[in-house]
Structure 1
Amino acid sequence: MKKNFSGVGFLRHNRSHRSRIAIEYYAINYQRLMMIDESQKNQQIMALLSQAKKIAGQYQSLTGKPLGITGEIAEYEAARILGLKLAEARQAGFDAIEYREKEAVKLQIKGRCIHNIKKTTQRMGSIDLSKPFDAVLLVLMDANYDVLAIYECSREKVIEALMSPGSKARNERSMLGIKKFISMSIIRWERPALPGGIDVDEVISSDLSILD
């Protein structure tokens, strides 16, 4: 006599179907949870950066010296404003990645604070040409570590400027003057001038020692 397994087959099929639904449900909710966690993490980081900005500004006012967190603030502000993905800590050559038409552009990020335009003598930090990067971002900030503007210059233009003769800082230390960098760059983001604050145009048009 032939046995009928149709009922068993149906149960197995139904169990398999429920399992797939359960897996899909947990996968979707896991992704949502990860998104929430990432969002909460970013909120906590921005809250900490806000505190760090105030402390750094107070430290600068009291001692006349920077606290040494300009680079970290510049990286996170650039990522927040431009929607970049920050690289892992101690990633050689670049600090963030920006996806443009599915292409990953590696960005090296430099930050500078302008505390007093009449006393500004800063250049950008050293740019290591031996490391992999596609472009350099300069995040220019005011005395409160709030972003004034973000500029981008391609690797090719940076190399050309650093290799051109006439400046020891450029040729030996791979450091560019801020105005020199800005003159070769495109503006990625710019803050409107605020009453009583430093105007970006003031920095760019200045004839002070900020120039290269």
Structure 2
Amino acid sequence: MRSAAQVAVDYERLTGRKLGITGEVGEVLACDKLGLKLLADPISAGYDAIDKDNKRYQIKTRRVEHNRGRLSRFSKHEFDYAILVVLNAKYEIMELWQADFRKIKPLIDRQKRRNPSMVEFKRLAERIS
């Protein structure tokens, strides 16, 4: 994963354009750190990973230098937990946040595009790293 992240950083430095691997990097790093199993099918029914008890996790990743911005769209499928991975410019984990689906569902449903802001998500989540 480190090699892919370095290629993305170099590409951005050379071209001024992002390579578009943030979500995948965040999923792999979060699963590795939290002991989750990343699902092989990237379009599984509303979740990206499972834990040893088969709890379902939807993982959102932001690569930021500030704590603003919106998360990508949450699917309409049910899951058990949402994880927010905040990466720095070098694709290293700065923060991990976890929220119970039942707690954030009203927030997600209030958003026309089902994409709450980072600040809104963090208010309902617990920082886990």
The answer to whether TM tops 0.5 is: yes
In the aligned structure 2, how far is the partner of 1:52 from the partner of 1:184? 32
CA RMSD of aligned residues (A): 1.6
Q: Does 1:79 align with 2:31?
A: yes
Give the CA deviation at 1:67.
1.0
Match of 1:122 in 2: 69
Give the TM-score taking structure 2 as reference length. Answer: 0.90
Following superposition, the deviation at residue 70 of structure 1 comes to 0.7
CA pair 152-80 structure 1, distance change in 2 beyond 3 A:
same
1:152 paired to 2:105: no
What is aligned with 2:126?
Answer: 186
Bigger strand share? 2
TM-score, normalised to structure 1, is 0.56
Residues 1-212 of structure 1: pairs in structure 2 closer than 5 A: 49-90=1-42, 91-99=44-52, 103-114=53-64, 116-117=65-66, 122-129=69-76, 131-164=77-110, 170=111, 172-189=112-129
Partners of 2:15 and 2:69 lie apart in 1 by: 18
State the SS of the aligned residue for 1:122.
coil
AA of the residue aligned to 1:128: S
- Structure 2, unmatched stretches of 5+, are none
Cα deviation for residue 158 of structure 1 reads 1.9
Identical aligned residues as a percent: 30
| Larger Cα-atom Rg | 1
User: May I ask how many residue pairs the two structures share in their alignment?
Assistant: 128
Q: Larger RCO: Structure 1 or Structure 2 (Cα < 8 Å, ≥ 6 residues apart)?
A: 2
